[in-house]
Amino acid sequence: MLDVCLLGSGGTQPLPNRRLSAALVRFGGSLILIDCGEGTQIGIRERAWGLRNLNTILLTHMHADHILGIPGLLLTLAFTGKDEHDPLTIYGPEPLVEILSGLLVVAPRLPYPVHYGVLEGGEQFGLDYTDALTIDCVSVEHDIPCLAYGLTVPRAPRFDPARAEALGVPRSEWRRLQHGESVAVGNRTVVPSDVMGPPRRGVRVVLVTDTRPTPALTRFVQADGNGTDLLISDAMYAGPEDLPKRWESQHLTFAEAATLARDGGARRLWLTHFGPALTDPAAYLDRATSIFPNTEAGYDLLTDSLTFDDE
């Protein structure tokens, strides 16, 4: 349903065994990249989901450790056969256009079009190549505009064939009802709610980075009570003793990320965006699992698949 890969789990600077911030989502054969730290194209190649299938990039914000991999990635894409009929769209907060225009000075001739989508937070939108996935975002607390993203595959209510037959709906019309259309049966109209069950929860993944805890962020993870199947969260600091002394922290500790997962109704948590001083994140994992047991310390190329619940 949704395949998710944590391409890079580091923040600030790349390390020999830890690349910078990036996550890859595969849905229906297409790829969506969230952030693009240095060397991201290497991780995409290692995951081997088909680089040419990348059509969308979501940028959380314009700090270097989240965007400096873009020129190299776009040049690598140019050698995959991607052409003028296969555009790439990059979304993010301002100064998106100014920053990317500067970065692409070193990649001025690409064989495919690159479009920009400027976001402020609060938007919900679909993608041109699929109507089965929605993206939403929320503004988070950082020292420059920064967004958290949610990717959701909605799930239709269960169709009740016995009810459809009782109402005299021909089998040839069932698909229309399942897709939200009304159908005429004799001199009356059958609407989808006549033959569909209650709403069912879809599949959702949320990525949060470079922020402090806020009520709006918790509500975003909660998703109107449906929660989130997988929360990928900033966890730059193992604990409060690691917080910077020279300036106010703009990141989360392990405990803060776990609290966000718990209070937001997440079902799983991957910690990521570790600071360079945090050489062994797994050694501090109990600081998160004591609050939210279903927590994993992220690492490069950590991958899993999210599917609908059995019901």
Give the position of tokens 């395949």: 3
Could you say which architecture CATH assigns to the domain 2-157+198-306? 4-Layer Sandwich (3.60)
Distance from C-alpha of 80 to C-alpha of 124, rounded to nearest angstrom: 30
Structure tokens at 190: 């059958």
Catalytic entry in 35, 65, 210, 300: 65
Q: Nearest CA to 36 among 80, 3, 74, 83?
A: 74
Count the neighbouring beta carbons within 10 Å of the beta carbon of residue 292: 22
Specify the residue for token string 């209070």.
Answer: 263
pLDDT tens per residue across all 311 residues of the chain: 899 999 999 999 999 989 999 999 999 889 999 999 998 999 999 999 999 999 999 999 999 999 999 999 999 999 999 999 999 999 999 999 999 999 999 998 999 999 999 999 999 999 988 888 999 999 999 999 999 999 999 988 888 898 888 888 999 988 888 888 999 998 889 998 898 888 888 999 999 999 999 999 999 999 999 999 999 999 999 988 878 766 667 899 999 999 999 999 999 999 999 999 999 999 999 999 999 999 999 999 999 999 998 76
Q: How many helices (H) and strands (E) does the chain have?
A: 9, 16
- Kindly compute the dihedral angle of the four CA atoms of residues 233, 235, 236, 239, in this order, to the nearest 10 degrees: 160
Backbone φ and ψ of 260, nearest 5°: -60, -45
Task: Supply the pLDDT for residue 244.
Answer: 78
Q: Is 53 helix (H, G, I), strand (E, B) or coil?
A: helix
- Scan for tokens 């990039």, then name that residue: 57
Retrieve residue 130's tokens: 């699929």
How many whole angstroms separate alpha carbon 67 and alpha carbon 61?
Answer: 8
This prediction's pTM = 0.92
Query: What is the token pair recorded at 290?
Result: 């004591």
| Beta partners for residue 54, in sequence order | 31
Region(s) of the chain under CATH 3.60.15.10: 2-157+198-306
DSSP label at residue 254? H
Nearest to 151 by CA among 72, 223, 82: 223
> What residue spans of the chain are helical by DSSP H?
40-47, 64-67, 70-77, 96-103, 161-166, 174-178, 215-222, 254-263, 286-289
DSSP string, 290-310: TT-SSEEE--TTEEEEE-PPP
65 is catalytic: yes
Amino acid code (one letter) for 204: R
Alpha-carbon 128 to chain mean position: 17
Tokens of 186: 């004799």
